[in-house]
Amino acid sequence: MALDETVAEVRRHLAASPAKVFAAFADAALVRRWLTPSRDVGLDVVHFDFRIGGAYRFAYRVPGRAPMVVSGVYRAIEPPSRIVFSWDIQPPDEHAGIRSEVTVTLTPQGTGTDLLIRHAQLTAPGARERHAAGWNGAIDHLATMVIGVNTSGSTIGGQR
């Protein structure tokens, strides 16, 4: 099967239940704590309406750059296993205008959760790589938050 150059997939096993991981996507206060690619990037949750048809708007504070604004709409919410939402980057970011879609799948595995993030329709040059790196960084923060362990570059029960 050929590699789809417009899709970034990130998989990780987390040592937390699907319900706990799902809650980290469903609560604005929790999202603010983990959904950044690195510790030096801040996140302001400007709007957060977690329901099918509900919208969100995030402003990422990147050192030395104008804020990167991402907005979207929740298209599917199936607790505690699946979330689908659009991911639209606003100007002046280099990837502004990309209208992509993120699917989060949570599968129980032992006492933890297998997490799959599939970010599709990344049509601009370099977008797939940038978003894969961003999701990997964010999942590092998520793993730390849901199990209360400092990962500092290591993986939590899974692969990078």
Residue 148's pLDDT is 60
What is the value of pTM for the model shown? 0.88
Question: pLDDT tens-digit profile of 105-128?
Answer: 999 999 999 999 999 999 998 999
Name beta bridge partners: 82.
78, 105
Return the pLDDT at 147.
80
Mean pLDDT of 50-77: 96
Residue whose C-alpha is closest to residue 38's, from 114, 122, 130, 158? 130
**Would you report the helix, strand and coil content of the chain in percent, each value rounded to 5?**
25, 40, 40
Place of tokens 């997490």: 115
pLDDT, average across residues 73-90: 97
Summarize the confidence of residues 82-101 as an average pLDDT: 93
Question: Residues 1-59: pLDDT tens digits?
Answer: 456 889 999 999 999 999 999 999 999 999 999 999 999 999 999 999 999 999 999 99
- CATH classification code of 8-38+77-88+95-147: 3.30.530.20
Q: How many CB atoms lie within 10 A of CB 143?
A: 25
